[in-house]
């Protein structure tokens, strides 16, 4: 009997057999090039992992700064080469832990950081001149970056020596996550201010991590993930150019953040297509001449949305396949999810197992022995071509709507992703899409599991810390700093210098964000599709 045709996550047909005809008329020199050379299909560096593996960057943060600091020390002791900070929802939304809207969320999905004192505790005993840190923070990204700088200076580390990444990608918040604060226009201004500030003050810092991950977690398929992420990237480039920066001054510090799913072949093709599209966009559309401006460098996280609460140990297998897809796709850094994340915060043991997954791939497998092992694969190269075509079609639609910001304001990307998510859920519910342990291969009774829980008393302890901070600080210095920040926000000067002064005077995250809310207002989404 003939088998039912298979399709990729993006809806593209998968052929049972691929042969030379799949690449008929295909010029490998222009489509592939060599590793480390334009259009970077085969990777952004000539040697890739044959010189050294990707950066092992485990995402962590929960409860208080002291608890997260202990977890970071454990990860470093077990071999993590880069930290990645998760912040709780109040911090992400620019509220202090004692704000009424923060009630019940303090320390739940990340660490609570209210002031420079919390940031100092978070990195106590961790030399910021030696460790690379990524911070998953968007609307208040400038604040957390400045707090990190202040802690580095207190450790005696010059800002020019600090390395890491701040996500700072607010456009995807309007599309997929919802942790925005200000309307799009002032949010983009804040992004450009971070670009300018870091160029002058923190030159080794990656000023943005343009994220497709969260869109994928909301339901975007691989073609949508590429298209909407790169369209947002184009919007940021235009924003920086409009602010008076030259493309080769800021583009080398742009980075990206993608998901890795269990559909290994399509994921490898996705990363190859994304690199090629971005290289051509930067060279042909924006006239970038520095090869570093044309490189799409990216961090990858395994797909949290594919983890299941049922039979959670099976997630170890899923994460391994996803991590292998990221590595074969040429990622620059990688976070592997813990198997219990569909249930609760990872335990120390599960976080260590996630780290060991990367170490096995890096040191026991042969995927680091040769650069770009999938090059020339009929299946992967064909999928790359088809994904590139599909993504370019979606990017053209975004341009027709006036660019990423205009399309966001119309709710177009969000509606497209929601349609895809609904289709996938229908397929899963109907059994047309297999999810092991959920709609097939189920157990009659799940084994008990004891997850890590955050102590609800954290909220009260954070409130007490805030009360002591407000009582001990120089209130007039805080008021002067916040007033200067408001004046900068009302005008056109860079808001980061006065923001730094306010934070150094121990203004809180909520107070700084409130000062900007008073000038810029807040964003209210409009559902139009």
Mean pLDDT of 435-444: 95
pTM here is 0.93
Burial of 59 (0-12, 13-18, 19+ CB in 10 A): buried
Strand 6-7 with 13-14, pairing: antiparallel
Per residue in 313-358, pLDDT (tens digit) is 999 999 999 999 999 999 999 999 999 999 988 988 999 999 999 9
Q: Let me know: does 87 contact 137? Beta carbons within 8 Å.
A: yes
82 and 187: one domain? yes
Q: Is the pLDDT of residue 2 over 60?
A: no
299 and 252: one domain? yes
CA distance 411 to 527: 6
Per residue in 418-436, pLDDT (tens digit) is 999 999 999 999 999 999 9
CA distance to 219, 354, 414, per residue, from 305 (Å): 9, 16, 17
204 and 306: one domain? yes
Range of the domain at 169: 36-430
**Residue among 309, 339, 310 nearest 322 (CA):** 339
469 and 426: one domain? no
CA distance 445 to 442: 9
Give the chain's mean pLDDT. Answer: 95
375 and 485: one domain? no
Task: Using pLDDT thresholds of 50, 70 and 90, give the confidence band for residue 527.
Answer: low
Q: Is the pLDDT of residue 529 over 70?
A: no
Write the DSSP symbol of residue 97: T
Per residue in 146-173, pLDDT (tens digit) is 999 999 999 999 999 999 999 999 999 9
Instruction: Classify residue 452: in a domain, yes or no.
Output: no
Q: DSSP of 485-504, one letter per residue? A: HHHHHHSSS-SHHHHHHHHH
Per residue in 447-463, pLDDT (tens digit) is 887 777 788 899 999 99
492 and 363: one domain? no
CA distance 139 to 187: 7
Domain CATH code at residue 71:
3.20.20.240
CA distance to 166, 327, 478, 479, per residue, from 507 (Å): 21, 42, 6, 8
pLDDT in the model for residue 282: 98
**What torsion, rounded to 10 degrees, do the Cα atoms 171, 177, 182, 183 define?**
50
Instruction: Classify residue 306: in a domain, yes or no.
Output: yes
Per residue in 57-81, pLDDT (tens digit) is 988 899 999 999 999 999 999 998 8
CA distance 96 to 462: 9
Of 226-230, 286-290, 422-426, 525-529, the poorest mean pLDDT is in 525-529
pLDDT in the model for residue 23: 85
410 and 284: one domain? yes
108 and 67: one domain? yes
pLDDT in the model for residue 528: 54
pLDDT in the model for residue 455: 85
Domain count, the chain: 2
Per residue in 173-184, pLDDT (tens digit) is 999 989 999 999
Torsional sign, CA 281, 41, 260, 20: positive
Q: DSSP of 13-31, one letter per residue? A: EE-S---GGGGTT--HHHH
Per residue in 75-112, pLDDT (tens digit) is 999 998 889 999 999 999 999 999 999 999 999 999 99
CA distance 261 to 225: 12
130 and 179: one domain? yes
- Which residues, in sequence order, are CB contacts of 236 under 8 Å at separation 6+? 169, 171, 188, 191, 208, 210, 254
Task: Using pLDDT thresholds of 50, 70 and 90, give the confidence band for residue 292.
Answer: very high
Per residue in 243-283, pLDDT (tens digit) is 999 999 999 999 999 999 999 999 999 999 999 999 999 99
């Amino acid at each position: 009997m003939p088998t039912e045709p298979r399709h990729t996550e993006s809806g593209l047909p998968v052929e049972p057999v691929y042969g030379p005809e799949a690449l008929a008329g295909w010029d490998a020199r222009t489509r592939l090039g060599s590793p480390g050379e334009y259009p970077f299909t085969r990777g952004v560096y000539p040697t890739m992992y044959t010189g050294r593996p990707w950066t092992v960057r485990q995402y962590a943060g929960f409860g208080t700064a002291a608890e997260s600091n202990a977890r970071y020390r454990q990860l470093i002791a077990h071999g993590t080469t880069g930290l990645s900070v998760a912040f709780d929802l109040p911090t992400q939304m620019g509220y202090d832990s004692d704000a009424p809207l923060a009630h019940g969320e303090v320390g739940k999905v990340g660490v609570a950081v209210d002031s420079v004192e919390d940031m100092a505790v978070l990195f106590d005993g961790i030399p910021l001149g030696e460790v690379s840190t990524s911070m998953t923070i968007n609307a208040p990204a400038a604040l957390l970056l400045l707090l990190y700088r202040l802690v580095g200076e207190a450790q005696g580390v010059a800002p020019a020596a600090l390395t890491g990444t701040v996500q700072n990608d607010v456009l995807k918040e309007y599309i997929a996550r919802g942790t925005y604060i200000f309307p799009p226009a002032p949010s983009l201004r804040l992004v450009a201010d971070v670009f300018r500030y870091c160029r002058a003050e923190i030159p080794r810092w990656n000023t943005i991590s343009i994220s497709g991950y969260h869109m994928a977690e909301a339901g975007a398929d691989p073609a949508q993930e590429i298209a909407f992420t790169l369209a947002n990237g184009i919007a940021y480039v235009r924003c920086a150019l409009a602010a008076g920066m030259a493309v080769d001054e800021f583009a080398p510090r742009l980075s990206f953040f993608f998901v890795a799913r269990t559909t290994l072949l399509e994921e490898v093709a996705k990363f190859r297509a994304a690199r090629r599209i971005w290289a051509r966009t930067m060279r042909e559309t924006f006239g970038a001449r520095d090869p570093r401006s044309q490189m799409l460098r990216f961090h990858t996280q395994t797909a949290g949305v594919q983890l299941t609460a049922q039979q959670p140990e099976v997630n170890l297998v899923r994460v391994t396949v996803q991590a292998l897809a990221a590595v074969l796709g040429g990622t620059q850094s990688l976070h592997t999810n813990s198997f219990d994340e569909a249930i609760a915060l990872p335990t120390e043991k599960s976080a260590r197992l996630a780290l060991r997954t990367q170490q096995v791939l890096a040191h026991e497998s042969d995927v680091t022995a040769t650069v770009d092992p999938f090059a020339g694969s009929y299946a992967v190269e064909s999928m790359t071509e088809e994904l590139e075509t599909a993504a370019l079609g979606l990017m053209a639609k975004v341009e027709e709507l006036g660019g990423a910001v205009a399309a966001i304001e119309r709710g177009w990307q969000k509606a497209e992703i929601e349609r895809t998510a609904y289709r996938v859920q229908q397929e899963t519910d109907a059994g047309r899409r297999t999810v092991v342990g959920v709609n097939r291969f189920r157990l009659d009774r799940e084994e008990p599991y004891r997850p890590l829980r955050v102590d609800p008393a954290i909220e009260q302890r954070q409130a007490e810390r805030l009360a002591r901070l407000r009582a001990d600080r120089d209130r007039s210095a805080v008021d002067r700093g916040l007033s200067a920040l408001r004046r900068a926000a009302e005008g056109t000067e860079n808001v980061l210098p006065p923001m730094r002064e306010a934070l150094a005077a121990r203004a809180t995250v909520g107070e700084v964000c409130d000062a900007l809310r008073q000038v810029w207002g807040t964003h209210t989404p409009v559902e139009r599709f």
